[in-house]
Amino acid sequence: MRFTLVGTGTTIPDAARGPAGFLVEHGGASVLVDGGTGTIGRLAALGVDARTLDGGVYSHRHVDHCGDLVPLLFTMRVGADRPRHRDYPIWAGTGFQDFFDGLVGVYGKWIQPEGWKVRISELTLEGADGADLPGGVRLDTLPAVHSAGALHLSFTAPNGFRVVFSGDTGPSEALARLAAGADVLVTECAVAGADPWNSHLNPHDVAAIVAAARPKRVVLTHLYPSVDPELALAVVRATGVPTERGLDGQVLEG
């Protein structure tokens, strides 16, 4: 399984880091995970034509995680060289169907053309859920401590290699549970100190989750400018678990 960090930034425009976006590839299938503004262009820079994607998974409905959904579906209906004919499945938390129906209310056939459909499978926000993704990767989810239908996501290849993505979240026992023993934990570290809304993690929150879960490796992402990356790395590395800051285009493979 290849897990590519397409965007390791935030909602703040940054030439080096796009908003949240990841690509899971296995068994000849490519599944987009999140996709904030500009993700399909960043995919093109990685040599991936977004029109050929086999499905999408969304951690939640905030714009820095799903802002490119309309451009993605719009581009899938154009391009005489490679028009799409097959359905596009999406997995996301409860509420995503209503969200998508609202988008269809605005854009109509431009994102829901004849000949193929966007098919949304909602995952519960009440407990554990999951799905078998195209290409044979298993998705397991637990509800995150955030809003907009947020989930923690775990991707397991048939050989057992497992990558867990926090999505956006406040301190979360569910994330520690899901990340236990994972090969890689890709986690947000959005804030420097206590978050008054309890909806994001600071470095000490991340360290507590890592200390409990003991993944083999940690990749920090989604750092807002208030977070000092070196300080954050030092705090999380104190757990003894190898930790790095993710880079756009970086590939986790196993």
Q: Which positions lie near Zn ion, rule CB under 5 A?
A: 62, 64, 168
Q: What is the dihedral of CA 242, 165, 12, 23, to 10 degrees?
A: 100
Find the shortest distance in angstroms from Cβ 68 to Zn ion.
14
Q: Which two tokens stand for residue 16?
A: 């080096």
Q: What are the beta bridge partners of residue 231?
A: none
Q: How far is the CB of 217 from Zn ion (least distance, A)?
A: 22
**With respect to Zn ion, which residue has the nearer C-beta, 17 or 62?**
62
CA distance 80 to 161: 38
Least Å distance, CB 215 to Zn ion, is 21
Q: How far is the CB of 121 from Zn ion (least distance, A)?
A: 21
Closer of 62 and 84 to Zn ion (Cβ): 62
Question: Toward Zn ion, which CB reaches closer, 140 or 168?
Answer: 168
| Minimum CB–partner distance for residue 35 and Zn ion (Å) | 12
Report the 10 Å Cβ neighbour count for 222.
27
Which of 26/61 has CB closer to Zn ion? 61
Q: Give the chain's radius of gyration (CA, Å).
A: 17
| Residue with Cβ nearer Zn ion (59 or 154) | 59
Long-range contacts, 171-176 (Cβ 8 Å, 24+): 171/145, 171/198, 171/201, 171/205, 171/208, 171/209, 172/144, 172/145, 172/209, 174/142, 174/143, 174/144, 174/145, 175/142, 175/144, 175/209, 175/213, 176/208, 176/209, 176/212, 176/213
Report in angstroms how near the CB of residue 119 gets to Zn ion at its nearest. 24
Structure tokens at 9: 């930034």
Report, in Å, the least distance between residue 80 CB and Zn ion: 36
Residue number with CB closer to Zn ion (64 or 183): 64
Of 23 and 223, which has the nearer Cβ to Zn ion?
Answer: 223
- Provide the token pair at 88: 């596009």
Q: How many helices (H) and strands (E) does the chain have?
A: 7, 14
Question: How far is the first Cα of the chain from the last one, in angstroms, to the nearest whole number?
Answer: 6
